[in-house]
């Protein structure tokens, strides 16, 4: 539907959806973890201790009842892990689920939002995501995995699922165990109706969110043949779709543009606005921006006007 992706209004909340305390394998106490994220400018925190719901209140943070639960990993040794965001109870008995779908369905049935953790780090494959229709989405960026092992970015898994028709949502997280060492590398901006845990979960379920490791997405306006993006200063803005397809503009004139133009530059010559013309056969797209330090932000995928009306293109097979 044409219009701004963020048109509904509300309040933008900076959220950390993956973190640990001494109630599982994290270093900080629950109170110390909350203080750390509040001091760092966050609005909301999900403490996702392994198989433990850490119940704590904080005067400056919205604390979202959550945990990190496990299921058998179909593709690698170890287990698959899923964030049970917005769920204040635990399964009985406390043992891994037989598969990811059973775990995701358990979370959904309790009003929570299930996000698959770090698919790249866990050795998961896109078929594992596709076999779990109850998943709301996945961590496309896990800061802890990235700084420890360089495998925190799971956008290939994401694009593969999108290409096959599963418009999964993406979040970015820290997976913080030691504040100050593995914190501040990934977070998710949520456009909530109000500053409450229930409103954050509702907005997340509806896709009114985007992940970031630094840049801000200020607006995405979808028109009949074009998409307009406004953002904090970045060196590139890209509109992703299926294989072979995408658009991109760059602050560096030597890198050129493809199916798009820069609409706004800041005084340092960085891009703050871009317009793209997309082919009519595209069914979905997502926006990805990258700042001067290589830090990215990723919009959720959105359906384009005319999608499903049928013309085949390279990205619809």
Among 97, 151, 103, residue whose Cα is nearest residue 124: 151
Residue 231 parent element (H or E): strand 226-234
What would the two tokens of residue 25 be? 């394998």
What would the two tokens of residue 305 be? 């006007």
- Which residue lies nearer to Zn ion by CB, 12 or 51? 51
Question: What is the rounded distance in angstroms from the CA atom of residue 193 to the CA atom of residue 8?
Answer: 9
What would the two tokens of residue 86 be? 């917005």
* In the complex, minimum distance from the CB of residue 21 to Zn ion, in angstroms, rounded to a whole number: 11
- Which residue lies nearer to Zn ion by CB, 65 or 273? 65
- Which residue lies nearer to Zn ion by CB, 175 or 290? 175
- Which residue lies nearer to Zn ion by CB, 15 or 199? 15
- Which residue lies nearer to Zn ion by CB, 46 or 239? 46
Cβ atoms of 49 and 27 closer than 8 Å:
no
175, 182, 245, 290: residue in contact with Zn ion (rule CB under 5 A):
175
* 314 Cβ contact partners less than 8 Å away, ≥ 6 residues apart: 242, 243, 244, 245, 281
- Which residue lies nearer to Zn ion by CB, 49 or 291? 49
* In the complex, minimum distance from the CB of residue 33 to Zn ion, in angstroms, rounded to a whole number: 13
> Closest CB to Zn ion belongs to which residue?
175
- Which residue lies nearer to Zn ion by CB, 44 or 287? 44
Per-residue x/- marks for Zn ion, 51-70, CB under 5 A? -----------------x--
CA-angle at 213, arms to 10 and 34, nearest 5°: 70
Count of chain residues binding Zn ion (CB under 5 A): 2
Q: How far apart are the first and last CA of the chain?
A: 23
* In the complex, minimum distance from the CB of residue 81 to Zn ion, in angstroms, rounded to a whole number: 6
* In the complex, minimum distance from the CB of residue 36 to Zn ion, in angstroms, rounded to a whole number: 16
Question: What is the rounded distance in angstroms from the CA atom of residue 65 to the CA atom of residue 49?
Answer: 10
Instruction: Choose one: 175-183, 188-196, 202-210, 225-233; the region binding Zn ion (CB under 5 A).
Output: 175-183
* In the complex, minimum distance from the CB of residue 145 to Zn ion, in angstroms, rounded to a whole number: 10
Q: Does 174 bind Zn ion (CB under 5 A)?
A: no
- Which residue lies nearer to Zn ion by CB, 16 or 315? 16
Instruction: Choose one: 91-99, 169-177, 178-186, 292-300; the region binding Zn ion (CB under 5 A).
Output: 169-177
> What residues from 68 to 97 belong to the interface with Zn ion (CB under 5 A)?
68
* In the complex, minimum distance from the CB of residue 69 to Zn ion, in angstroms, rounded to a whole number: 11
- Give the total residue count for the chain: 317
* In the complex, minimum distance from the CB of residue 125 to Zn ion, in angstroms, rounded to a whole number: 20
What would the two tokens of residue 221 be? 């306006």
Compute how many other C-beta atoms are within 10 angstroms of the C-beta atom of residue 149: 11
Which residue, chain included where needed, has tokens 């985007």? 210
Alpha helices in 110-173 (DSSP H): 119-122, 126-130, 143-149, 155-163
* In the complex, minimum distance from the CB of residue 51 to Zn ion, in angstroms, rounded to a whole number: 11
271 burial via Cβ count (<10 Å: 0-12, 13-18, 19+): buried
**For binding to Zn ion (CB under 5 A), which residues are involved?**
68, 175
């Amino acid at each position: 539907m044409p219009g701004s992706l963020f048109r509904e209004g509300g309040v933008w909340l900076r959220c950390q959806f993956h973190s640990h305390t001494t109630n599982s394998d994290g270093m900080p106490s629950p109170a110390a973890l909350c203080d750390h994220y509040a001091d760092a400018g966050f609005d909301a925190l999900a403490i996702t201790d392994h198989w433990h719901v850490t119940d704590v209140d904080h005067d400056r943070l919205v604390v979202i009842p959550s945990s990190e639960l496990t299921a058998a990993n179909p593709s690698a040794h170890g287990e698959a892990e899923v964030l049970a965001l917005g769920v204040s109870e635990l399964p009985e008995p406390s043992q891994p689920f037989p598969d990811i779908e059973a775990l995701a369905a358990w979370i959904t049935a309790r009003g929570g939002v299930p996000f698959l953790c770090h698919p790249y780090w866990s050795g998961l494959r896109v078929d594992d995501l596709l076999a779990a229709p109850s998943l709301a989405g996945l961590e496309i960026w896990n800061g802890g995995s990235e700084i420890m092992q360089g495998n925190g970015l799971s956008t290939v898994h994401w694009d593969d699922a999108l290409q096959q028709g599963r418009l999964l949502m993406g979040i970015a997280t820290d997976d913080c165990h030691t504040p100050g060492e593995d914190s501040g590398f990934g977070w998710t901006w949520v456009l909530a109706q109000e500053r409450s845990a229930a409103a954050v979960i509702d907005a997340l379920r509806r896709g009114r969110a985007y992940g970031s490791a630094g840049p801000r997405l200020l607006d995405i306006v979808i028109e009949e043949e074009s998409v307009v993006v406004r953002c904090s200063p970045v060196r590139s803005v890209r509109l992703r779709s299926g294989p072979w397809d995408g658009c991109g503009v760059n602050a560096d004139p030597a890198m050129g543009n493809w199916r798009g133009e820069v609409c706004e530059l800041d005084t340092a010559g960085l891009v703050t606005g871009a317009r793209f013309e997309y082919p009519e056969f595209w069914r979905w797209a997502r926006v990805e921006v990258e700042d001067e330090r290589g830090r990215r932000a990723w919009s959720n995928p959105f359906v384009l006007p005319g999608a499903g009306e049928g013309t085949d293109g390279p990205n619809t097979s």
